[in-house]
Amino acid sequence: MTDQAAGALPSQHRVAAAATAGAAAAGGAAGSVASRRWVQLALGVLCMSMIANLQYGWTLFVNPIQQKFGWERAAIQVAFTIFVVMETWLVPIEGWFVDRFGPRPVTIGGGILCAIGWTLNAFADSLPFLYFAAAVSGIGAGAVYGTCVGNALKWFPDRRGLAAGLTAAGFGAGSALTVLPIVAMIGSSGYEQTFLVFGLGQGIIVVLAGLFLASPDPGFAARVAGPRSAKANRRQYRTAEMVRTPVFWLMYLMFVMMAAGGLMATAQLAVIAKDFKVDGVPVSILGLTLPALSFALTLDRLLNGLTRPFFGWVSDRIGRENTMFIAFALEGVGILALGAFAHVPIAFVTLTGLVFFAWGEIYSLFPATCADTYGEANAAANAGLLYTAKGTASLLVPLSSVLAAHGGWQTVFYVGSAMALLAAILAVAVLKPMRARLVASSAAVRPVA
C-alpha cells in the first residue's frame, strides 16, 4: 500500500462518519416532525370534542328552556338553525384567516366565543337574546371546526383521509362522554348552571389547546410527498380560482345531496320510530337490552364517529372517488332497506346504524378530496367553502316533513336513497375523470405560496 493510499483512509473514514451522522440527524429530524404532526392532530381532535356539545348537546336543553319560559318548541329551535348557519357559512372567512395568520389566533378566538355563547345562554330571558347567543356560539364553533380540519389537511398530505376523518370524528362523537354529566347537572343544578359550567370549561380547554396549534412550514408537503411526487408540484389554488372550476361545483352538489339525503332520513329518527311503533320496544343485541329508539340513538352516534376515520383511511388506499362510490351506494341501499323493514325493532336499530355509518364519512372524504385537488396552501379556506354545503343541505331538511305529510315516510326514504345513489354514480362516472384532468393540467405548475 502506498503512502498516498494509506493517507486516504482517514479521510474516507471521516466522510463515512459525516454521512452517518448526517443520516442520523436527518432521521432524528424526520422523527421529530412525525411526532409533532400527530401532536397537532391530537390537539385538533381535542378542540373538536370540546365544541361537539354546542350542536349535539343542544337537544338536552330544549325541554328545560320550554318549561321555564313556555316558549314554543319551534321558536326555541330557531336558535339551533341560527347556530348551524353561522357555524357553516362563515367557515370560508375563518379559514382565510387561518391560511394567512395560522391556526392559533383563530382557534383561541373561537374558543372564547364558544364560552361566551353558552354563558349568554345561561342568562337568556328572551328569544332574541337566545338567538344572539346561538349566533355567537355558531361563529365560535365554525372557527374551531374550520381551523382544525384545515390544519389536519396541511399536516397530513400523505394521509389526508385518515387525518380529516379523525378530526371530524372528534366533532361527530365528541359529546358522547359528556351526555350523562350534562343530564345529571341539568337535573341537580338547572340548565342555566349547566350552560355556564360546561360553556366556560369547554371554552377554556379550546383556548389552552389552541395556544399550541401551529401550521407546517411551506415546504413540508413537498418533503412528505417527495420531490418527484405530483402532489409536491401541484398548483395551489386560491379560493377565487377554485370556484371557477366545474369540479368544485360538482363536489358541492354531491355534498349537498349526501348531507340532505342522510339528514332527511335520520334527522327525525324519533318521529319515524314512533310512527312505526317501535320506539319503546326492547331490543337485545350482544347481551345489551334497550328500547329500540334509545338503542338506535346510542349506536348511531358511535358509528357516526367511527365512519369518518375508517372511510378516510380507506380512501387513502383505494382513492377518494372509489371510496365515495362504495359509501354512498351503501347509504342508498341502507335507506331503502330502512324504509322496508323499519317496523321490525331489531331491523330498525341495525339499519339506522348502517345509514349513519354510510353517511358520516362525507365530513372526511370531501375535505380530503378538496385538498388533494386544490392544494394545501389554502386548504382551510377552500375546504371551509365546500363545508358550507352542510348549511345548504340543512335548509332542505324541512322538506322531509312536507314529503312525509303528503306521501308518507316511504317517499322520504325513496328521495334520500335516490340522492345517495346518484351521488355514488357521479363520483366514479363524472367526478373521477373530471378531477383527473384538472389535477393533470396543474401537476407541473409551480406552487403559489
Question: What CATH number has the domain bearing residue 377?
Answer: 1.20.1250.20
Residue found by looking up cell 391556526 in the block: 103
Q: Assess whether 210 and 260 both reside in one domain.
A: no
Residues 256 and 353 reside in one and the same domain: yes
Print the domain residue range for 96: 28-216
**What per-residue confidence (pLDDT) applies to 15?**
45
* pTM metric for this prediction: 0.81
CA distance 76 to 136: 16
Grid cell listed for 259: 348531507
pLDDT score recorded for residue 4: 47
Q: Is residue 10 part of a domain?
A: no
9 Cβ contact partners less than 8 Å away, ≥ 6 residues apart: none
Is 124 in the same domain as 246? no
pLDDT, residue 274, reads 84
List CB contacts of 74: < 8 A, sequence separation 6 or more.
Answer: none
Q: Which of 216, 241, 261 is the last residue of a domain?
A: 216
Of 156, 185, 216, the position where a domain reaches its end is 216
- What is the rounded CA–CA span in Å between residue 284 and residue 330? 25
Residues 54, 199 within the same domain: yes
Tell me how many domains the chain contains.
2
The residue whose grid cell reads 391530537 is 42
33 inside domain: yes
Answer yes or no: is 16 within a domain.
Answer: no
Average pLDDT across each block of 10 residues of the chain; the chain has 449 residues. List them in order.
Answer: 47 49 46 81 95 86 91 85 89 92 96 97 96 96 94 92 93 77 90 96 96 90 63 79 97 95 71 85 88 83 89 96 97 93 92 92 95 92 93 80 79 91 98 95 58
The domain boundary residue, chosen from 216, 248, 271: 216
Does residue 352 lie in a domain region?
Answer: yes
Both 334 and 189 in one domain: the answer is: no
The interaxial angle of helices 179-189 and 191-210, nearest 10 deg, is 140
Query: Does 154 map to a domain?
Result: yes
Alpha helices, DSSP H, located in 267-319:
269-275, 292-318
- Give the pLDDT of residue 345: 93
Tell me what pLDDT residue 447 has: 47
- Look at the chain and count its residues: 449
Residue 173 confidence (pLDDT) = 77
Q: Kindly state whether residues 131 and 238 are assigned to the same domain.
A: no
Q: CA torsion 29→149→328→179, rounded to 10°?
A: 110
